[in-house]
Structures are given as C-alpha cells and as structure tokens.
Amino acid sequence: MLDQFGIKSALNRLGIEEENKGTCTGDIWIETKETYLGSFSPADGELIAKVQLTDKQSYELVVKQAQEAYKHWRNVAAPQRGEVVRQIGNALREVKSDLGKLVSYEMGKSYQEGLGEVQEMIDICDFAVGLSRQLYGLTMHSERPGHRMYEQWHPIGIVGIISAFNFPVAVWSWNSMIAMVCGDVCIWKPSEKAPLSGVACQHIIAKVLKENNLPEGISSLIIGDYKVGEYLSHDTRIPLVSATGSTRMGKLVAQAVGGRLGRSLLELGGNNAIIISENADLDIAIRGALFGAVGTAGQRCTSTRRLIIQDSVYEEVKSRLVSAYGKLVIGNPLDEKNHVGPLIDTDAVKMYQDAISKAKVEGGKELVVGGVLEGKGFESGCYVKPCIIEAENHFEMVQHETFAPILYLMKYSELEDAIAMQNGVPQGLSSAIMTLNMREAERFLSASGSDCGIANVNIGTSGAEIGGAFGGEKETGGGRESGSDAWKAYMRRQTNTINYSDSLPLAQGIKFDI
Ligand code: UN1
C-alpha cells in the first residue's frame, strides 16, 4: 500500500528511511541506547517506518548544544533571523505536496487537510518574517527630567515544544518560527503517534540552517512519549515549555513547569459549540457545522462538538444535518473522493465507542448512528462513522472532550440560555454563532457573551487563520500561540531607564541628600 498514492517516493524525497534516528541537533543525528518506535498509518494499518527514541544521555547532548547555539543566535540581528525563516518558508513550499501526503498518511487527515496544514506552516513563516522587523517595545515618559524610559524585548532562551498528533507539524511551526525570529532556540518533541512528520521537518529545516552556516542546536528534535516530555518540563535550563494536547497532560506540564517557576504556554482541550439562531443563513450554518464536526474526523481541538439550536429551527436543522451526514464518504484519507478518514488509532476508536454508549446511558438519543467500519479498505480498524446524538448540556459525556466525530445537539429558546450553555463546560477554546441579526451577533461577542479564546460569527469553530492569537480559556490552558502579539510569550521584557541629566533625582520625589 506504501506505493499507492506515491507515498514511497514522497518518503524518499523527505529523507525518511526504514529506520530513522530520532534525536537531532540540526543536521547531526545522535544514536541512542533506546529502541525503535514503529509509526503505523491509521489509513491502512501498515508500518510506515521506525524512529529511535531519545534517551536521557542524548537529551543532555541536545540541551548542551542548544545552550551553545543560543549564545550565537540571540546576537544575530532579528531581521537576519527572519531571513532564515523566509528560506524555511520557501523550502516548505517546495515540499508542500510530499509533506502534506506524509501528514495525511501518518495521521489520517484528508490529503486536502494535510496540504492545508503545510500551508499553515508557510503562512506562519511569512508572518514571522514580517515580525522580525517589528518585535516592538513601548516608550514611556519619565517623571524625572533628563531621563528616558522605554522597554525592549529580548529572547528568552531554549523553548521546549511538545506537540500533538492531530496537527503534527503546523503547531510546531507556530511555536518554532515565532521563537526563532525572537532569538530563541527550540527543542521539539513531536507526538509519538506521528514522529515521522517530525523527522521530515527536521530534515527540511536542517538543510536551510546548514546553508546559512548556522551552528547545530538552533532547532533540535527529540522523540518519545510523556517521559521525554518530562525531561523538558522539569528542566530548569528550559525557561518556556509550550505544550499542545489533552487537559490531563497540560495539568502535569503546568505543575512541573510552575513548580520551578518556569513559563508554560498551554493549548489544551476544547469543547466547542455553534449556536444556530432562527436568524441564521441555514445553508452556511449546516456547512459550517458539518466541516466543524467531521473535518479531521473530529480530531481538531477546534472541532465542533455541540450544536445549540433555537427551537423554531431545530427540526429543520436536524433533518438537513442528518441528510448531509448521509452523503459523507468515509475512507482512505489520501483518496480525494473521501470526506472523512480514520481516527489516529484503535485506542481512540475505543474512546469513541465508550463515549457513545455512555451518552446513551445518560439519556442521549442517537440520531445518526455511529459504529466502527469493517471490511475492505477498513482493515486498520480505525475508521468510524460520524454520529449525531441529541443530548443535554449537563451530561458527563457532553462536558467531556472526546477526540472523535460525535456531535451533540441541543435546543434553546432565548439567546441568554444558549450563551449560558455554550459557556457551561470546563473548556474555553472556540465558539461560534450563526445569525444574520446584528444584535445577537454582538451580544455573543460582548463581555457577557462567549467566554472562549475564539468567538466567530457565521463561521464554524475550526479553521482559524494564523494571523490571530490562537488559544483559549479555562481548561484550554490560557496560552496564545501563532499570530497577533503571541510572540511576547517567547521573549522577556526589559524596562530601561536612562539618565542623561547632570543630577540624580529619585523617583517618587524621594529626598536622599548627604
Ligand atoms: C489544533 O487542533 O490543535 O483552527 C489546532 C484550526 C487549525 C488549528 C487547529 N487552524 O482548526
């Protein structure tokens, strides 16, 4: 099956071999004493290739090299650092289809979404290049005559990046491209469920760094599960750990990093809802809800998990959705006629099944029946049917993020109630309202509206652009990545006051004469 859809040649061009080392400081790959981890495609269950895990000793080498590299990189002018990131963006343009294909095959999202993910990397490179000529600080007026006061932003040091399987490459690039123009160096632990995508990115970036005669250690790779993640979170040499994944994982990272007073930047679970008002354009509402719920097989942190529908249009939305679900084609993500690919692995399938049965025990009614697909093309055991369940917001399963295509439907009559339901979950990542009524839209966006980091009008909950700050509140972890001024998380602020007068007046008018 590797030959089908040109996977084999794409792997070749990306530098992926049957057995790959997994620990790298740039261009130098380090042999460790650890075993090799197999990466299996959820599309067909086949072993794609193996990657060697990082051990403590090789981790130490990586950190030492990163420390050395930082001494150099922090003094390279920011626009020069931007120039390197510009070249990385161009290198990504060249491999867009190969990398998109690997992401799709290793993770299971559709090829179109794989391409979209690489585009997101290219976009953040462009953004970071522009940023490299900005990174603005403010100037303030000093209360003392002959004094100047301003603030400037300096790099922070080594940034540890822990990324999740569902966006195996884009979320790394949001962090590392911004961190790089900020003057930081990065150590990346990709998800152990999609390690080859990490190895491929390391090859791409290493070539650019080498062509620019840059030292080893600016962008490093380590491979492993939570144990390797713990190396990063407990390491006082790593001032910032950016972690994407489950709320459970995020709490552990936050405690470890917080315990040493380091900084963590967390992008964790979502439980995103769309409110569909009777004033909505229902064509847009149905399409937005459909892509939000079944895109990436419901495995985005921005996936739509709940639809809160006004009672007067409830029946219409319900029947149009049910008929749209009937048209979904499920199958190999590389085959462009399919809309929905597999879940990441059979553990995820089990969680999907459990969630459906528990929601039913709680009183949920399955409108579009879920289930695991079997037979030809579904041998990996990872393909499931997107399902719709009528439920109530307080159900334990509705309160919980299940990374699968399960959509819960509920009813409201007053907008206040809909907003309370939308906010009535522990997570706070993304949200949306579908309405053409300006008052409803603005109420949803106001301080007493959505409590999420992302709030959209007439757009679904997923598919954010890189230009905005990405992240959310409550159990989503509070971090902001990607665009806007998210770069500030990767730098340290320094306030500078300069006295150019011929005396030394003290602030607050304090007298201290001798
Ligand atoms: C994620 O699921 O972790 O907004 C990131 C989106 C994508 C990023 C999702 N641009 O859906």
H-type alpha helices, 195-264:
195-211, 226-234, 247-259
| Residue 454 beta carbon below 6 angstroms from any ligand 1 atom | no
CA of 302 to the centre of ligand 1 (A): 6
Of all protein residues, the one whose alpha carbon is nearest to atom 6 of ligand 1 is 463
Q: Ligand 1: does its nearest atom lie under 6 Å from the Cβ of 172? A: no
Question: Is residue 138 a contact partner of residue 219, using CB atoms and an 8 Å limit?
Answer: no
Confidence at residue 156, expressed as pLDDT on a 0 to 100 scale: 98
What tens digit of pLDDT does each residue of 79-100 get? 999 999 999 999 999 999 999 9
**Given phi > 0 = left and psi -120 to 50 = alpha, else beta, which region is 254?**
alpha
Which one of 300, 461, 470 would you pick to mutate in the ligand 1 pocket, going by the greatest count of ligand atoms within 8 A of its CB?
Answer: 300
Between the CA of 301 and the centroid of ligand 1 the distance, in Å, is 6
In whole angstroms, how far apart are CA 303 and each of 50, 351, 466? Answer: 30, 16, 17
Q: How far is CA 318 from the centre of its chain?
A: 31
> 51: pLDDT confidence band, cut at 50, 70 and 90?
very high
| DSSP helix/strand/coil, 354 | helix
Is a pLDDT exceeding 80 seen at residue 144? yes
Whole-number mean pLDDT of the chain?
97
In angstroms, the CA 471 to CA 486 distance is 10
Report the percent of the chain where pLDDT is more than 70: 100
Pocket flag, ligand 1, residue 302 (CB < 6 Å) = yes
CB-ligand 1 contact for 463 (6 Å cutoff): yes
Contact 287, 339 (CB under 8 A): no
Is the CB of residue 407 less than 8 Å from the CB of residue 388?
Answer: yes
Mean pLDDT, range 378-402, rounded to an integer: 98
Distance (Å, whole) CA 78 – CA 83: 9
**How far away, in angstroms, is 33 Cα from ligand 1 center?**
35
Determine the atom of ligand 1 nearest the C-alpha atom of 295: 11
Q: Mutate which of 302, 305, 461 to test ligand 1's pocket (most atoms within 8 Å of Cβ)?
A: 302
**pLDDT exceeds 90 at position 378:** yes
In angstroms and rounded to an integer, the radius of gyration of the C-alpha atoms of the chain is 24
Mutate to test the pocket of ligand 1, among 454, 462, 480, 481 (most ligand atoms within 8 A of CB): 462
Contact 301 CB / ligand 1 (< 6 Å): yes
The catalytic position among 113, 267, 440, 475 is 267
Give the separation between CA 295 and CA 281, rounded to whole angstroms: 21
Q: How far is the CA of 166 from the centre of ligand 1 (A)?
A: 9
Give me the pLDDT at residue 514, please: 86
**Measuring CA to CA, which residue among 49, 58, 107 is closest to residue 222?**
58
Q: What is the rounded average pLDDT of the residues 226-237?
A: 97
Atom of ligand 1 nearest to the CA of 430: 4
> Locate tokens 């757009």: which residue?
459
Cα distances (Å, whole numbers) of residue 108 to 4, 255, 345: 15, 32, 9
Using the predicted structure, report yes or no on whether residue 4 has a pLDDT greater than 90: no
Binding site membership of 462 for ligand 1 (Cβ less than 6 Å): yes
If residue 162 lies in a helix (H) or strand (E), which one and from where to where? strand 158-162
Give per-residue burial for 247-274: e unless 16+ CB within 10 Å, then b: bebbebbbebbeeeebbbbbbbbbbbbb
Confidence at 2, pLDDT banded by 50, 70, 90: low
Decide whether any atom of ligand 1 lies within 6 Å of the 167 Cβ: yes
What per-residue string of b and e applies to 309-321 under the rule 16 or more CB within 10 Å gives b?
bbeebbeebbebb
- What's the pLDDT score for residue 1? 56
Q: Whose CA is nearest to atom 3 of ligand 1?
A: 301
Considering Cα of 322, then 326, then 332, then 337, what sign does the dihedral take?
negative
Q: Is the pLDDT of residue 502 over 60?
A: yes
- 442, 423, 170, 147: which is closest to 296 by C-alpha? 170
Q: Where are the domains of the chain?
A: 7-268+477-493, 272-467
DSSP codes of every residue in 276-300? E-TTS-HHHHHHHHHHHHHGGGG-S
Let me know if the fold of 7-268+477-493 is the same as that of 272-467. no
Which residue in the block uniquely carries the two structure tokens 């300069």?
A: 498
Q: 300 alpha carbon to ligand 1 midpoint, in Å?
A: 6
Give residue-wise pLDDT tens across range 109-123: 999 999 999 999 999
Distance CA 480, CA 138 (A): 21
* Distance in Å, CA 167 to ligand 1 centroid: 7
Question: Is ligand 1 within 6 A of the CB of residue 109?
Answer: no
User: Residue 207 burial (CB < 10 Å; 0-12/13-18/19+)?
Assistant: middle
Mutate to test the pocket of ligand 1, among 167, 169, 344 (most ligand atoms within 8 A of CB): 167
Ligand 1 centroid to 427 CA: how many Å? 15
The pair of three-digit structure tokens given for residue 351, joined into one six-digit string:
């969680």
Residue 440: active-site member: no
Read off the tokens for 212. 């620019």
Are the CB atoms for 403 and 298 separated by under 8 Å?
yes
Q: What string of H, E and C letters represents the secondary structure of 309-323?
A: EEHHHHHHHHHHHHH
User: What mean pLDDT is predicted for residues 362-386?
Assistant: 97
pLDDT at 488: 98
The 8-class DSSP code of residue 147 comes to E
Ligand 1 close to Cβ of residue 422 (< 6 A): no
Report whether pLDDT(68) > 70: yes
Q: Is the pLDDT of residue 471 over 90?
A: yes
461 in contact with ligand 1, CB cutoff 6 A: no
DSSP-derived pairing of the beta strands 19-20 and 47-52? parallel
Q: Averaged over 245-252, what is the pLDDT?
A: 96
Predicted local distance difference test score (pLDDT) of residue 3: 76
278-310 pLDDT per residue, tens: 999 999 999 999 999 999 999 999 999 999 999
Compute, in angstroms, the gap from residue 509 CA to the centroid of ligand 1. 52
CATH architecture of the domain 7-268+477-493 equals 3-Layer(aba) Sandwich (3.40)
The structural architecture, per CATH, of the domain 272-467 is 3-Layer(aba) Sandwich (3.40)
Specify the long-range contacts of residues 278-284, CB closer than 8 Å, at least 24 apart.
278/310, 278/312, 278/313, 279/435, 279/436, 279/437, 279/440, 280/313, 280/434, 280/435, 280/436, 280/458, 281/434, 281/436, 281/458, 282/313, 282/316, 282/317, 282/320, 284/434, 284/458
Question: Residue 206: how many CB atoms within 10 A of its CB?
Answer: 22
Distance CA 74, CA 80 (A): 11
